């Protein structure tokens, strides 16, 4: 069965510093996708970034980058130059190849300190 | 463009009552997902539809839960009878085929259900 693990329930980072949120996954599929979503305190889910299992380069979207290490089955999110508005819960997710379903990890709460 | 619209935003009901949550997906999206979020279990996929047809309902907790999508612009999630353990935030999300591949789901603001 496919599984996403986020081992950090909560993280703190100083404003303007970079932070890495960990995500490991387990799958026997050769083709899969990995994603990160942000959930601010207001509750909506915001898509941040996508990495395909065959992509050779790490995905980047503005201040977000995905550190994809296939052999280690990890897909960590790196946020550079943290801002107060980055305070939120962050979810790692994986797409099942056969069904297209998204499976989410438990989430990591990030607090950015001024 | 309007996003995914869910109603009601908040619902408080008593155990045993029927609850109906509604969702209007983004026009042109042909995939619709229902997720449930709780502190204990995180985000769980309940069911998803493609072109109004239920594709996978393996996440539906039990027979008390049912979901329908009578047309491309409307879906309901019904709980009958409701129980306190059903208290959660229920999200509806929609996307198109390319969005399924890249994981870009467009979420509604959620319906917060409290069952007393």
Interface test mutation site (partner A, options B32, B103, B111, max chain A beta carbons within 10 A): B103
- Listed by number, the residues of chain B in 50-79 with a beta carbon closer than 8 Å to a beta carbon of chain A are 55-56
Question: Per the CB < 8 Å rule, is B110 touching A105?
Answer: no
Q: Over chain B, what is the mean pLDDT?
A: 93
SS3 at position B10: strand
pLDDT at residue number B102:
73
Question: Per the CB < 8 Å rule, is A50 touching B102?
Answer: yes
The C-alpha of B109 sits at a distance from chain A's nearest C-alpha, in angstroms, of: 5
Determine the Cα–Cα distance for residues B22 and A2; give it in Å rounded to an integer. Answer: 30
Does A95 touch chain B if contact means CB atoms closer than 8 Å?
Answer: yes
What percent of chain B shows pLDDT beyond 70? 99
Question: Per the CB < 8 Å rule, is A95 touching B105?
Answer: no
Residues 6+ apart with CB under 8 A from A14: A82, A112, A113
Name the region of B73 (left: φ>0; alpha: ψ -120 to 50; beta: rest): alpha
Residue of chain A whose alpha carbon sits nearest to that of B112: A43
pLDDT at A32 > cutoff 70? yes
What percent of chain A shows pLDDT beyond 70? 96
**What pLDDT digit, counting tens, does each position of A66-100 carry?**
999 999 999 999 999 999 999 999 999 998 766 66
On whether the CB atoms of residues B56 and B33 are closer than 8 A, the answer is no
């Amino acid at each position: 069965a496919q599984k996403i693990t986020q081992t950090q329930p909560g993280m703190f980072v100083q404003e303007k510093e970079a932070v890495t949120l960990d995500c490991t996954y387990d799958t026997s599929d050769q083709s899969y996708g990995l994603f990160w979503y942000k959930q601010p305190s207001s509750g909506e889910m915001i898509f941040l970034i996508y990495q395909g299992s065959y992509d050779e380069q790490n995905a980047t979207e503005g201040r977000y980058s995905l550190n994809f290490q296939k052999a280690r089955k990890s897909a960590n999110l790196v946020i550079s130059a943290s801002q107060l508005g980055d305070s939120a819960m962050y979810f790692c997710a994986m797409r099942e190849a056969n069904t297209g379903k998204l499976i989410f990890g438990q989430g990591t709460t990030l607090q950015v300190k001024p | 463009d309007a996003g995914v619209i869910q109603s009601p935003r908040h619902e408080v009901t008593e155990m045993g009552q029927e609850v109906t949550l509604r969702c209007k997906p983004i026009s042109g999206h042909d995939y619709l997902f229902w997720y449930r979020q709780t502190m204990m279990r995180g985000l769980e996929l309940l069911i998803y539809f493609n072109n109004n047809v239920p594709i996978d309902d393996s996440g539906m907790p039990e027979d008390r839960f049912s979901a329908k999508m009578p047309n491309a612009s409307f879906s309901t999630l019904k709980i009958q009878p409701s129980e306190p353990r059903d208290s959660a935030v229920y999200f509806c999300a929609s996307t198109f085929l390319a969005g399924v591949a890249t994981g870009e789901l467009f979420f509604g603001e959620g319906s917060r259900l409290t069952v007393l």
